[in-house]
Amino acid sequence: MCRMLALTDYDFKIHENLLEGFLELATKGKVPPGNRPGHHDGWGIGYHRRGVTGLIRSANSASDEKNKFLKALERIKSADILIVHLRKSAWKNTKNVYNSHPFLYKNRLFAHNGTVLDYDKLGPGKKRRKAILDSEALFLHVNAGCRKLTGRKLQMIFNDAEKRVKHTSLTCLLSEGKRLFAYRECSKNPSYYTLYRARTSGSVILSSEPVSKKLKWKHLRKKAVYSF
């Protein structure tokens, strides 16, 4: 259960206000019915810039580390693709930096919003670290089945995962540096497991919730892979 944001052609000077709006979702973002407010179980920033992939993560709430969060984005300055994540854990006692999103494998970045209840059904189990959770297992499953990222291949993998495991949502963001992929799917709470798209200053913006009233946001439909 999380909030996610992604941008193409990221520029801190242009997108600073939008990032501050996203940061507010750590405390004010939507939560599923019956859950406590806030997405306080870690944050992360992944980016691709001129062939180099970077990752910054924390186990703490972004609302408690506002300066650290925004300074990290300012130091990145610009990127071809940026993915930002605010975590709300569905698993007890798992608040640590290793479980903060995005996850990085080689040059691939992955962020997920949802819970996969029986994620042990996803492979490859032998390559996992001991404390792996559902989102990282889903990422490894995608990597194992997709040597080269394409929308068609990802669609097949997510269709298979949807049938294979019990889950609330497989909604996610994924990038290898050249393209940004997005997938939205849920088995419950469609008003929470959302992705919206907007454009500004030549950038594509994807967000779990609209974070600027100045932009025109479009809701991504379910069970479709998008590429930007």
HEC assignment per residue over the chain: CEEEEEEEEEEHHHHHHHHHHHHCHHHHCCCCCCCCCCCCCCEEEEEEECCEEEEEEECCCCCCCHHHHHHHHHHHCEEEEEEEEEECCCCCCCCCHHHCCCEEECCEEEEEECCECCHHHCCCHHHCCCCCCHHHHHHHHHHHHCCCCCHHHHHHHHHHHHHHCCECECEEEEECCCCEEEEECECCCCCCCCCEEEEECCEEEEECCCCCCCCCCEECCCCEEEEC
pLDDT in tens, the chain (228 residues): 899 999 999 999 999 999 999 999 999 999 988 888 999 999 999 999 999 999 999 999 999 999 999 999 999 999 999 999 999 999 988 899 999 999 999 999 999 999 999 988 886 544 555 578 999 999 999 999 988 999 999 999 999 999 999 999 999 999 999 999 999 999 999 999 999 999 998 999 999 999 999 999 999 999 999 999
pLDDT at 124: 57
Q: At 118, list the tokens.
A: 């029986």
pTM: 0.95
pLDDT at 158: 96
**CATH topology (fold) of 2-227:** Glutamine Phosphoribosylpyrophosphate, subunit 1, domain 1 (3.60.20)
pLDDT at 33: 87
Determine contact, residues 38/88, Cβ cutoff 8 Å: yes
pLDDT at 123: 66
How far apart CA 101 and CA 136 sit, in angstroms, is 9
Listed by start position, the domains of the chain span: 2-227
Determine contact, residues 167/187, Cβ cutoff 8 Å: yes
